[in-house]
Amino acid sequence: MVEEVAEDVEKVADDIGDHLPDGTKLRKADLFVENVAKEIVKDANLAEQVILKVEDVETYAGSFIGLVDNEADKTISRDKCQ
């Protein structure tokens, strides 16, 4: 969602900037907003990638813990039978 808003802001700033005279304070402010929006899009993409990696690790860790629990249960069951 943040990425979508930033992309929209970038587009609007670009459109507005096309109609502003070069070298004016307003044009410089517009370029600043456009550049900040671009950086936000990049950061949102990176954040999304990190979240996906964390979810992958969480899934892997959950599977691993499940395997360890199963083996522990088997060992405890064997020890009780002996």
Question: Which among 32, 37, 33, 36 has a CA at the least distance from the CA of 6?
Answer: 37
pLDDT of residue 76: 72
What CA–CA distance (Å, rounded) separates 16 from 12? 6
Read off the pLDDT of residues 2-28 as tens digits, 9 standing for 90 and up: 778 888 888 888 899 889 999 999 999
Read off the pLDDT of residues 42-52 as tens digits, 9 standing for 90 and up: 999 999 999 99
Domain locations in the chain as residue ranges:
2-81
C-beta separation of 41 from 10 below 8 A: yes
What CA–CA distance (Å, rounded) separates 63 from 82? 29
What CA–CA distance (Å, rounded) separates 25 from 49? 36
What CA–CA distance (Å, rounded) separates 57 from 52? 9
pLDDT-based confidence at residue 79 (cuts at 50, 70, 90): low
Task: Output the pTM of the full model.
Answer: 0.64
